[in-house]
Amino acid sequence: MKAEEPQTVYLRDYQPPAFLIDYVDLRFELFEDGARVHSRLTIRRNPEAEPDQRDLVLNGEDLELESLVLDGRPVEGFEADERTLRIEKVADQFLLDVVTWIRPQDNTCLEGLYKSSGMFCTQCEAEGFRRITYFPDRPDVMARYRTRIEADKGAYPILLANGNPVDWGDLDGGRHQVTWEDPFPKPSYLFALVAGDLVEQRDEFVTGSGRTVELSMYVEARNQDKCDHALSSLKKAMRWDEEVYGREYDLDRFMIVAVDDFNMGAMENKGLNIFNSSCVLASPETATDATYEQIESIVAHEYFHNWSGNRVTCRDWFQLSLKEGFTVFRDNQFSADMGSPTVQRIDQVNMLRTAQFAEDAGPMAHPVRPDSYIEIGNFYTLTVYEKGAEVVRMIHTLLGPDLFREGSDLYFARHDGQAVTTDDFVRAMEDASGRDLSQFRLWYGQAGTPQLRVTDSFDAEGRSYTLSVEQSCPPTPEANHKTPFHIPFRVSLLDSQGQPLVLDAEGNTEQVLELTEQSHRFLFTGISERPTPSLLRGFSAPVKLEYPWTRDQLGFLCSHDTDGFNRWDAGQKLAIDVIQSLLNGHDTAVDSRLIDAFRETLADTSLDRAMVARMLTLPSVSYLTELTEEADVAAIHQTRQRLVDELAGALRQDLLECYHRNAPEDPYRFDPEQSAARALRNMVLKLLTATGDDQGRTLATTQFEQAANMTDELEALRALVNSPFEPEREQALTRFYQRWQHDPQVVEQWFAVQSESPWVGDLNRVTQLLEHPAFDWKNPNKIRMVVGVFAGRNLLHFQRSDGAGHRFLGEQVRRLDARNPQMSAALVRPLARWRQYAPHLRDSMRSELQNIMASKDLSRDLYEVVFKSLKQ
């Protein structure tokens, strides 16, 4: 147990900062054995603050204070502890000079200033700046920054910071300096610095108003040929934000840097975005379609933050979703516009329902705007990001695109240069639209996934149809009782031909019903036959939906629904129903209606092939587990596998034809057309190999040897690895590693293919991977791809009945905690869901959490997750 329990921070305790900083003048002297940071702060008392706060309190962690000078005189009356520095009774306005000594070369938590592959880089969100110098490290203190970087010219020819370079030159001793100035006031979490031996790829973008912006991407020389896709994605994003949101870029330069060791995906530092290499580097030979897609959306996400996050930022960290929810919504819209909106929505919802719903049902559940935290690093969650985006999406649905745009224009205009709250965002939407969103605001303050229970009745004589809807929401840690949410519920009624019926006098065939009460009845008149309802179209709200579907209705919707998302979802629901009935013994044979639905989908050449690939994908073991109380993972896995076998057996001929119909095109292009064909063909290959089909084996080995791009090569490898072909799968793994061992991003994929696989990724294998020469405890990507993927995606082996999988995870988490707490707290999460599982699994998961809790010197990050997971 921790000697001293970490403190909880509460939203209700928010107070405006006592002091404001107008100007930050930084000088970094970078050396191999450390860095000296000179900071000059222009400080004044905040007129809005409580007058009794006389002392200046600055944050600082792991700093060696070398000197502290106030208005030219060394400070005498100050106190410093592990986390703060307090200077007593300061004047209303003054200059503070602080010199600190830090050790980037020993910084393993990757927050603040650290070294990755020989280069210096920073990560300051959320509270990393305090590891660089003493500072009021909170987002509502916005200042202008000037940054001078000095370093050895040979080892660090490139010196970057936010804004524009204003001065540069050589210094004594083979050193040089570059000075940068950022004209836009920003919070400290957006500060960035990079120093290294990097090559630059250049491009440019002409804004709508005719300004030329220089675009630069900085990477290690070996990655020089992997920049094109990120740069072209950036230009698309810049254009899109002008066209769809009227947002133009504001500086003369925009820079992207790739670093290998990074805790997250990327960071939106003003004018100097820093990316995890795996989220920005791509070439057809080394990156899959999925990676291309991910890069396009992350580059856009970080770019969009320039307005939603940087120009208008968060007042405090409880408001994190102000920037993240809105920006994820924006990048989702962008991705939908770049490819297929339906497929984009399917992928988004699939992830939300599998992972965010699980978070909302577990011990770490929190509102989109949390009320409290111990460590803010633990709140970069699917709830804040993805559910936050769904909340913005619902506002978009309720207002319609035009009023939503007026709302966002008003929000940006009203709050430019300010640090604001989610409430300010909603108010701008209200003011622009004239709508009352007071009840809607509950989405920000109440946790948990609402549930809709829908029933219907048809009156043939009165030619009317009634939908009855009841909403409820389960208790979550912050509240037992929930007030009804304001829910946009998009519906349509289909006739027996699959045609949507006219629902009102305006001739609409679809309506957004607004749910505000616990229960509603909606009456539709002039309906001459019993319709099939198409409910929650496009997943119009992040809720669980219950309706007594018959399998015939689901089969019908799967082939007829005019809403693409619902069409896919009907197939998923049908598959879930079949699997659950096999599991609980209601059915003994696989319902032929499911096989027929799959056959029909395969034959439907009018459908987008990416959509067909999604429709042929059975719900994952993770999602099925999430839907089951007292889940027995092995039984779920077996039943799902049985369905794969039967489907593949029954559809063998159709699958083979489909495989050959979709032969790859040369040369590789990442475009919606080509990547859809690859997705379908590789999905089909997976079905063919999973059953041990001989022809499947030949196709997979041939594709593996002949593939001309990484998508086809890796998917062939994945198909072999997840098949009963023992020698082939090991041979392919060995071949693949020999081919690609020089490329860290590809090796990361090689790790993941093994650790996610129910066929090869057992505990033995995963333990071996940790010993592999390419594995590196200093590199978060490697840890994620082996340990994270195993515990998160390979439930069959992680949830072994003897608990060895749980013990394995516990061991790795403890091993990592002192070095990188953000990572250890993220990795432990799968254990937190222990209440979801069958008793024998549950007990062993809980006891592993207790083991962790009992270990010495837990980080605050890990403590928070484990403590909350064990709490009743």
Catalytic residue chosen out of the listed positions 111, 125, 268, 302: 302
CB of 124 to ligand 0A1, least distance (A): 8
**Per-residue tokens: 610:** 């990416």
Tell me how far apart the alpha carbons of residues 305 and 326 are, in angstroms, rounded to a whole number.
9
CB of 307 to Zn ion, least distance (A): 12
Closest CA to 600 of 547, 550, 647, 566: 647
Tell me how far apart the alpha carbons of residues 239 and 652 are, in angstroms, rounded to a whole number.
45
Nearer Cβ to Zn ion, position 189 or 759? 189
Q: E strand or H helix at 164, and its extent?
A: strand 164-170
Nearer Cβ to ligand 0A1, position 263 or 639? 263
Tell me the CB-side half-sphere exposure of residue 685, using CA atoms within 13 A. Answer: 30
CB of 265 to ligand 0A1, least distance (A): 6
CB of 256 to ligand 0A1, least distance (A): 13
Q: Which does 264 bind (CB under 5 to 8 A by kind): Zn ion, ligand 0A1, none?
A: ligand 0A1
Q: E strand or H helix at 736, and its extent?
A: helix 726-740
Nearer Cβ to ligand 0A1, position 258 or 700? 258
Closest CA to 841 of 813, 803, 795: 803
Instruction: Indicate the SS3 state at residue 98.
Output: strand
Q: Which does 626 bind (CB under 5 to 8 A by kind): ligand 0A1, Zn ion, none?
A: none
Q: Which does 267 bind (CB under 5 to 8 A by kind): ligand 0A1, Zn ion, none?
A: ligand 0A1
Cα–Cα distances (Å) from 332 to 337, 341, 343, in that order, read: 9, 9, 11
CB of 329 to Zn ion, least distance (A): 11
Whether 726 is a known active-site residue: answer: no
Q: Which does 123 bind (CB under 5 to 8 A by kind): Zn ion, ligand 0A1, none?
A: ligand 0A1
Nearer Cβ to ligand 0A1, position 94 or 380? 380
**Per-residue tokens: 133:** 């110098």
CB neighbours of 326 closer than 8 A, spacing ≥ 6? 308, 388, 389, 392, 425
Tell me how far apart the alpha carbons of residues 852 and 850 are, in angstroms, rounded to a whole number.
5
Nearer Cβ to ligand 0A1, position 187 or 196? 187
CB of 736 to ligand 0A1, least distance (A): 30
Nearer Cβ to ligand 0A1, position 330 or 718? 330
Binding pattern for the stretch 317-336 against Zn ion, x by CB under 5 A and - elsewhere: -------x--x---------
CB of 274 to Zn ion, least distance (A): 13
CB neighbours of 29 closer than 8 A, spacing ≥ 6? 35, 36, 37, 38, 150, 151
CB of 191 to ligand 0A1, least distance (A): 13
CB neighbours of 266 closer than 8 A, spacing ≥ 6? 273, 274, 275, 276, 279, 280, 298, 299, 301, 302
Nearer Cβ to ligand 0A1, position 309 or 830? 309
**Per-residue tokens: 438:** 């007071």
CA dihedral sign, ordered 672, 677, 681, 684: positive
Provide the binding-site residues for ligand 0A1, judged by CB under 6 A. Answer: 123, 125, 263-268, 301-302, 324, 380
Nearer Cβ to ligand 0A1, position 305 or 393? 305
* Inter-residue long-range contacts of 12-18, CB under 8 Å, 24+ positions, other chains counted: 12/371, 14/315, 14/316, 14/318, 15/49, 15/50, 16/46, 16/48, 16/49, 16/50, 16/140, 17/46, 17/49, 17/136, 17/138, 17/140, 17/141, 18/45, 18/46, 18/49, 18/50, 18/53, 18/56, 18/57
Tell me how far apart the alpha carbons of residues 187 and 105 are, in angstroms, rounded to a whole number.
25
Binding pattern for the stretch 338-367 against Zn ion, x by CB under 5 A and - elsewhere: ------------------------------
CA dihedral sign, ordered 541, 544, 548, 550: positive
* Distance from chain centroid for Cα 676: 23
CB of 864 to Zn ion, least distance (A): 21
CB of 272 to ligand 0A1, least distance (A): 13
How many chain residues interact with Zn ion (CB under 5 A)? 2
Q: Which does 140 bind (CB under 5 to 8 A by kind): Zn ion, ligand 0A1, none?
A: none
**Per-residue tokens: 327:** 């920006």
**Per-residue tokens: 713:** 């090569």
Nearer Cβ to ligand 0A1, position 301 or 797? 301
Task: Give yes or no for a contact between 458 and 431, defined as CB atoms under 8 angstroms apart.
Answer: no
Task: Give yes or no for a contact between 509 and 501, defined as CB atoms under 8 angstroms apart.
Answer: yes
Q: Which does 794 bind (CB under 5 to 8 A by kind): ligand 0A1, Zn ion, none?
A: none
Task: Give yes or no for a contact between 588 and 640, defined as CB atoms under 8 angstroms apart.
Answer: no
Tell me how far apart the alpha carbons of residues 755 and 733 are, in angstroms, rounded to a whole number.
12
CB of 844 to ligand 0A1, least distance (A): 31
Q: Which does 113 bind (CB under 5 to 8 A by kind): Zn ion, ligand 0A1, none?
A: none
Q: E strand or H helix at 578, and its extent?
A: helix 564-583
Cα–Cα distances (Å) from 464 to 454, 456, 459, in that order, read: 17, 11, 5
Q: Which does 213 bind (CB under 5 to 8 A by kind): Zn ion, ligand 0A1, none?
A: none
**Per-residue tokens: 216:** 């630069």
Nearer Cβ to ligand 0A1, position 31 or 380? 380
Say what the alpha-carbon torsion angle 685, 690, 693, 698 is, to the nearest 10 degrees.
50
Q: Which residue number places its CB atom closest to ligand 0A1? A: 264
Task: Give yes or no for a contact between 389 and 380, defined as CB atoms under 8 angstroms apart.
Answer: no
Tell me how far apart the alpha carbons of residues 871 and 8 are, in angstroms, rounded to a whole number.
15
CB of 380 to Zn ion, least distance (A): 9
Cα–Cα distances (Å) from 487 to 398, 431, 511, 517, 644, in that order, read: 9, 20, 13, 9, 36
Nearer Cβ to ligand 0A1, position 263 or 344? 263
Nearer Cβ to ligand 0A1, position 268 or 864? 268
Residue carrying the six token digits 């393993």: 108
Task: Give yes or no for a contact between 317 and 13, defined as CB atoms under 8 angstroms apart.
Answer: no
Closest CA to 374 of 869, 834, 787: 869
Binding pattern for the stretch 603-622 against Zn ion, x by CB under 5 A and - elsewhere: --------------------
Q: Which does 428 bind (CB under 5 to 8 A by kind): Zn ion, ligand 0A1, none?
A: none
φ and ψ at 832, to 5 degrees? -60, -25
Nearer Cβ to ligand 0A1, position 123 or 566? 123
Q: Which does 16 bind (CB under 5 to 8 A by kind): Zn ion, ligand 0A1, none?
A: none
CB of 324 to Zn ion, least distance (A): 5
User: How many other CB atoms are found less than 10 A from the CB of residue 586?
Assistant: 10
**Per-residue tokens: 488:** 């946009």
- Which residue numbers are catalytic? 302
Catalog residues that contact Zn ion under the rule CB under 5 A: 324, 327
